[in-house]
Amino acid sequence: MHYRFADRLSHAPKSFLNELFRVSADPSIISFAGGLPSSALIDTDGIRTATYQVMEDDPSIALQYTTTDGYLPLREFIAGRYRSRLGIPATAEEIQIVNGSQQCLDLFAKIFLNKGDHVGIERPGYLGAIEAFSLYEPIIDTVPLEDDGPDMTVFERLIHRSPEKFFYGIPNSQNPSGRTYSQEKRRAIAEIMEETDTVFYEDDAFGELFFDNRPRLPVKRYIPDQAVLSGSFSKTIAPGMRIGWIYAPSGILTQFNIVKQAADLHSNFFCQKILHRYLITHDLDEHIRKIVEVYSRKCRLMCDLLDDQLPQLSHTTPQGGMFLMATLPQGLSSGTVFEAGIKRGVAVLPGLPFYIDGGGTDTIRMNFSTASEEQIHEGMDRLARVITDL
């Protein structure tokens, strides 16, 4: 049988995810390659109680269809948190619930991108965004990422000279690099973009996970009608619930709602009800403080071990989130390190898939949220032996 698939599939970059799943399934391998939050920090007892309460109160409603935009009380909670944390006048009408923020990437690209349109991203950029956008066959332009955000000279030239439909960035604890935009660059981005019709897509998956517990003002704070924010409960509550959201102007949400309805009618309503019950019966700030305390300690440990055991590697020093990026000695391939690491029982993620226009052969992304501190010690010992041998 000859299957006549759509041409767009030929433009999709090769995914590294199957290889990651294979590695993650092997208990003998200490993996710094994945992107999972710590399972030990999921409040299983609290979620179990919230589930029981929902089933006791209104099971027939919780297990029924609902509206495409999502459970109103949950959207009101999200909007209220934007108002209290960031001073942004968000309303529930500007929030749409989605199946994890990854779905935002697909649906947002669907409503904006025609074949051959330009879209801007960071370099290195988030692998999930590259994969989602590529299916719509755009021209992806990149802007180098510095320690405090995009290279503003390149960014300004790109925005003013190319017809970018939107620019996608992760200002807070970027994946894969762990870098955070300075407040000065956030304001500068807004000033540059407000002279154009380009939309800023602000992926805020890690905005609650700063080690100093201090929120950073988003770009949307400066250009509210020209920017969208996406967020997720995957990093703070439970990824298996697949509950995220997009916060956007009404003109964008109207079109977003149309494609969301066509895609799946609505996100998991049962999980939305459980999540909302959990949020109103538990102290989310206290829960996040516990997560941040653990991640901060693990990040410092991994950075210290890199400095002590692998001084020939340079690396980023994240202010939050779950990742850092390291640069290998000249001539050493990240693919070679990955393959040799698997044989020694440690996995890192080669930088190649984060560079749509080539590059990343000398970089590796390392996750510090999943492994225990004991595993970080052992895994770094194994990685040091791998790189020393190579």
Adjacency order of strands within the sheet including 349-350: 314-315, 323-327, 363-367, 349-350
How long a stretch of residues is the chain?
390
- CATH topology (fold) of 7-43+286-389: Aspartate Aminotransferase, domain 1 (3.90.1150)
DSSP string, 213-273: ------GGGT-TTTEEEEEESTTTT-GGG--EEEE--HHHHHHHHHHHHHHHSSS-HHHHH
Whole-number Å distance between alpha carbons of 303 and 172: 19
Options 3.90.110.10, 3.30.413.10, 2.20.25.90, 3.40.640.10; CATH of 44-281? 3.40.640.10
Q: How do the pLDDT tens digits run along the chain, 390 residues long? A: 989 888 888 777 777 666 666 776 778 899 999 889 999 999 999 999 999 999 999 899 999 999 999 999 999 999 999 999 999 999 999 999 999 999 999 999 999 999 999 999 999 999 999 999 999 999 999 999 999 999 999 999 999 998 999 999 999 999 999 999 999 999 999 999 998 999 999 999 999 999 999 999 999 999 999 999 999 999 999 999 999 999 999 999 999 999 999 999 999 999 999 999 999 999 999 999 999 999 999 999 999 999 999 999 999 999 999 999 999 999 999 999 999 999 999 999 999 999 998 889 999 999 999 999 999 999 999 999 999 999
Asked whether the domain spanning 44-281 has the same topology as the one spanning 7-43+286-389, the reply is no
Place of tokens 């030990």: 40
* CA dihedral of 58, 62, 66, 71, whole degrees rounded to 10: 90
Cβ atoms 248, 256 nearer than 8 A:
yes
The CA–CA distances, whole Å, from 225 to 83, 97, 130, 205 equal 16, 19, 25, 21
The vertex-309 CA angle with 305 and 313, nearest 5°, equals 90
- Domain residue extents for the chain: 7-43+286-389, 44-281
Say what the pTM is: 0.95
Helices (H) and strands (E) in the chain, counts: 13, 14
Rounded to the nearest 10 degrees, what angle do helices 269-281 and 72-86 cross at?
Answer: 50
